[in-house]
Amino acid sequence: MSIRKRQKRIENKITITQFEQFHDELVLKCFDYLDFNCLYDIFYNLNQRFRRLIECQKKIQINFNSIPSKNFLRFFFQINQYIKSDKNYFLSILTDNKCRLNLILEDDLFKEISLKLKSLSLSNIDAGTINSLIFNKTLKLYKRLERLNLFEKISEKHEGSNDIECKSLCNNLLSSRMKSLKYLR
């Protein structure tokens, strides 16, 4: 058989597959690589199949830094409605923005989000703020937080002051109050 005939046979066998043609398992695997904000914006209202696949996700990871400021509140109103269902989601938040974190976790409008929060990844936020959020008497994150990642510059509010806030945070995190904490980094 000539080379041209072989190439022609191979070209005839190659078909272009669209993302919508993938099996559910493969689509869900691809969804795992996307932040929930992107996933929700791109796929949730695309069609019924993708909506159903997104709704069967058990893990929701939200990176506050990936949400544009103009869409921030709208996105969290939608997410709050989305997670009000009886499903047990593993909600994870990643941020370095203290104002956005306080807004979402301490506002009564977004109570469902703070109730479902299981994982928190923070960077460049002072120890006093972290301590007050986790051990807040109304939020009670210390009762249900399973994973806590503290990255880059977790420090005092005022540089040069003694490290009372950092020591207090460490003592609280290692105390018996953090019964559900399984992972601390």
Q: For residue range 16-35, list pLDDT tens digits in order.
A: 568 888 899 999 998 888 88
pLDDT at residue 119, as a whole number: 92
User: Percent of the chain beyond pLDDT 90?
Assistant: 5
Q: What would the pLDDT profile of 59-113 be if each residue is shown by its tens digit?
A: 888 888 888 889 888 888 888 877 776 677 788 888 888 888 888 888 888 888 8
Q: Which of 121, 119, 109, 106 is nearest to 84 (CA)?
A: 109
Quote the pTM value: 0.74
Q: Got the DSSP string for 50-106?
A: HHHHHHT--EEEEEGGGS-GGGHHHHHHHHHHHTTSS---EEEEEE--HHHHHHHHH
pLDDT at residue 146, as a whole number: 92
* Pick from 6-10, 20-24, 39-43: least confident: 6-10
Residue 124 has pLDDT above 60, yes or no: yes
pLDDT at residue 154, as a whole number: 67
